[in-house]
Amino acid sequence: MRESEVIERLRRIATAPEARGLRDDVAVLGDLIVTHDSIAEGVHFLRHDPPASVGWKLVAVNLSDLAAKGGKPVGALLSLTISGAGDWEQAFLGGIEAACDSYGLPLLGGDTIALPPKAPRVLGMTAFGRSSERIPDRGGGKAGDAVWLVGTVGDAAVGLTQLLADRHATGPLVDIYRRPVPLLVPGEVLAHHAHAAMDVSDGLLLDARRMAQVCGCTISIELDQLPLSSAFVAERGQDRAARLFAATGGDDYALLFALPPDLDPVTLSLPSATRITRVGSLAEGTVPLHLTFGGEPVELPEKLGFEHAGVERRNSDDRGPSPAPLGNRS
């Protein structure tokens, strides 16, 4: 059963307006923004990843959802699984503490359970944010809107590829994969101007298509405009193949906004180091996603990103994430 099928079934239960039809990454209770993300060993992190980095990542992926909605963090609940003597958990909680301190996120409580021996760890967090202004959803985009991306794409996917080839790999791309940075301040500035907003965790093309489907529009993404880091370019280059890899990789935690066409976000009070790039536009149409490179149409790749699907359990010695891990719940 695929993730999209599960969510479709859950819509029959989550009928409250605060749930936004499960077509967003958050629920909204008045001025309170609520999100929940889980990360699992062998899906979102490698078995040999440092546990402190796993703790950091759990906090960061939740905060990224808040960032896309312009929310200021106000609290979190932690779901912790215990396995073994406890050394892993102690280091993991050190990463949780470091991330909470860095982003001003109070830990309010949660739940703890013990796992059977050798069971893969599954860890969860519910984060709460607050916004005093309009909270954009994913489906408010309009034909004619410009599509802007905050951050870069592809770095984490290359970092994961390096770790899968060599578990002792190091460098900036590995760091980005293990310790993503939630773009809270740019999100707070831009969300209040956006017609539609979401974070990019499952691959830019897949998440852009999701936005277009909810908006009822066609989204056109210009591959040659995608923002790539210097570390990515040094490792993979910047030709069309490299850009397709970056656009489908996942774990980016960039932010995607549909903004009014007459708004230049560079004129807003963004942090000086913010990298924001116009990567496409919304238009009327029934085909959700259109791709170009150098102004010419590009055939969509078979896989646009990463989506969970039920599979038979793999051998415990063969646990490891796909080259395009998932971060959010769609």
Q: What is the pLDDT of residue 309?
A: 59
Of the spans 2-6, 146-150, 321-325, which averages the highest pLDDT? Answer: 146-150
Instruction: Output 197 or 327, whichever has higher pLDDT.
Output: 197
Q: What is the pLDDT of residue 310?
A: 52
CB 327 within 8 A of CB 305: no
- Per-residue pLDDT for 128 more than 90? yes
- Per-residue pLDDT for 271 more than 50? yes
pLDDT averaged over every residue in the chain: 90
- Per-residue pLDDT for 103 more than 60? yes
- Asked if residue 98 belongs to a domain, the reply is yes
Q: Strand, coil or helix: what is 199?
A: strand
- Per-residue pLDDT for 161 more than 50? yes
- Domain CATH for 235: 3.90.650.10
- Asked if residue 154 belongs to a domain, the reply is yes
CB 251 within 8 A of CB 201: yes
Taking alpha carbons only, the member of 76, 62, 64 closest to residue 107 is 76
Q: How many CA atoms lie within 13 A of 266 on its CB side?
A: 5
Backbone angles phi, psi at 280, to 5 degrees: 170, -160
130 Ramachandran zone, left/alpha/beta (phi>0; psi -120 to 50) = beta
Distance in Å from the first CA to the final CA of the chain: 15
- Per-residue pLDDT for 313 more than 60? no
Cα–Cα distance measured from residue 99 to residue 78, given in angstroms and rounded to the nearest whole number: 13
CB 283 within 8 A of CB 178: no
Task: Determine the number of helices (DSSP H) and then strands (DSSP E) in the chain.
Answer: 9, 12
Cα–Cα distance measured from residue 114 to residue 102, given in angstroms and rounded to the nearest whole number: 28
Q: Indicate the pLDDT class of residue 4, thresholds 50, 70 and 90.
A: confident
Whole domain around residue 84: which residue ranges?
A: 3-134
Residues across the chain = 330
Say how many domains are in the chain.
Answer: 2
- Per-residue pLDDT for 329 more than 80? no
Q: What is the pLDDT of residue 15?
A: 80
- Domain CATH for 123: 3.30.1330.10
- Asked if residue 321 belongs to a domain, the reply is no
User: Tens of pLDDT along 58-67?
Assistant: 999 999 999 9
Q: What is the pLDDT of residue 308?
A: 60
- Per-residue pLDDT for 325 more than 60? no
Q: Can you give the three-state secondary structure of 266-295, one letter per residue?
A: HHCCCCCCCCEEEEEEEECCCCCEEEEECC
Stated as kind and residue range, the H or E segment containing 169 is none
Q: Are residues 181 and 269 in the same domain?
A: yes
Q: What is the pLDDT of residue 273?
A: 92
Report which DSSP code applies to 47.
Answer: T
- Per-residue pLDDT for 328 more than 70? no
Q: Are residues 154 and 286 in the same domain?
A: yes
Q: Which one of 112, 134, 156 terminates a domain?
A: 134
Q: Are residues 79 and 172 in the same domain?
A: no
User: Tens of pLDDT along 216-259?
Assistant: 999 999 999 999 999 999 999 999 999 999 999 999 999 999 99
Q: Which one of 82, 103, 134 terminates a domain?
A: 134
To 5 degrees, how large is the angle CA 153–CA 158–CA 162? Answer: 165
Backbone angles phi, psi at 72, to 5 degrees: -95, 130
Q: Which one of 111, 134, 157 terminates a domain?
A: 134
Stated as kind and residue range, the H or E segment containing 325 is none
Question: Global pTM?
Answer: 0.89
Q: Are residues 182 and 266 in the same domain?
A: yes
- Asked if residue 305 belongs to a domain, the reply is no
Q: What is the pLDDT of residue 85?
A: 85
- Beta strands 289-293 and 218-222 are parallel
Stretch 148-162: mean pLDDT: 97
Backbone angles phi, psi at 317, to 5 degrees: -85, 0
Q: What is the pLDDT of residue 1?
A: 75
What is the number of other CB atoms lying within 10 angstroms of the CB of residue 55?
A: 27
- Asked if residue 330 belongs to a domain, the reply is no
- Asked if residue 53 belongs to a domain, the reply is yes
- Beta strands 32-40 and 296-297 are unpaired
Q: Are residues 63 and 167 in the same domain?
A: no
Stretch 22-32: mean pLDDT: 88
Q: Indicate the pLDDT class of residue 318, thresholds 50, 70 and 90.
A: very low
